[in-house]
């Protein structure tokens, strides 16, 4: 497990350098917290978590850092319709299940979804850079609650 964490940190540092981002303690703390999260946190969630290690960090620093990470391809932004931006450290191709009640997001892989064809009426209209499928519904835990 430690070897995998160290490889992710090395990859993170390489991407930062490739994109002209200095490797600061704040950026490392934000990245480490995000990588350790399994809930696709929003900025506010990450800010509260990172403040435990860096009490003087500002919300704006966390927000701008996450946007910089997104621009550099270090993380992906996961957006719902009208929901808060949430962040995903897994930049490999995958899809999401999202609960409409509790907003939980679960990653999954599916080769059929990976192979979706773009409708021909969009040929020449868009250059597709990635394909992500989001399935929305009610999770098992929320279904049990009435």
Domain extents in the chain: 2-87, 92-144
Q: What whole-number distance in Å separates Cα of residue 138 and Cα of residue 144? A: 10
Q: What is the pLDDT of residues 89-113, one digit of tens each?
A: 888 889 999 999 998 999 999 999 9
CATH class of the domain whose range is 2-87: mainly alpha
Which pLDDT value is given to residue 2? 78
Q: What is the pLDDT of residues 67-80, one digit of tens each?
A: 999 999 999 998 76
Joined tokens for residue 138: 């009610």
CATH architecture for segment(s) 92-144? 2-Layer Sandwich (3.30)
3-state helix, strand, coil in the chain (%, to 5): 45, 15, 40
What is the band of 1 on the pLDDT scale with cuts at 50, 70, 90?
A: low
Which pLDDT value is given to residue 125? 86
Which pLDDT value is given to residue 126? 84
Which pLDDT value is given to residue 8? 84
Which pLDDT value is given to residue 81? 67
For the entire predicted model, the pTM comes to: 0.83
**54 and 29 in contact (C-beta within 8 Å)?**
yes
Q: What is the pLDDT of residues 29-83, one digit of tens each?
A: 999 999 989 899 999 999 999 999 999 999 999 999 999 999 999 999 987 667 7
Instruction: Give the pLDDT mean for 6-14.
Output: 89
């Amino acid at each position: 497990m430690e070897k995998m964490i160290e490889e992710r940190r090395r990859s993170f540092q390489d991407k930062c350098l490739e994109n002209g981002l200095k490797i600061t303690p704040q950026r490392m703390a934000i990245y480490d917290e995000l990588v350790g999260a399994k809930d696709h946190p929003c900025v506010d969630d990450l800010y509260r978590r990172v403040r435990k290690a860096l009490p003087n960090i500002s919300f704006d620093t966390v927000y701008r850092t996450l946007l910089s990470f997104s621009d550099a391809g270090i993380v992906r932004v996961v957006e719902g319709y009208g929901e808060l931006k949430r962040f995903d450290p897994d930049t490999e191709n995958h899809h999401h299940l999202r609960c409409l009640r509790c907003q939980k997001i679960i990653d999954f892989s599916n080769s059929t979804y990976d192979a979706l064809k773009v409708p021909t009426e969009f040929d020449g209209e868009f250059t597709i850079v990635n394909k992500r499928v989001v399935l929305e519904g009610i999770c098992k835990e929320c279904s049990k609650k009435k």
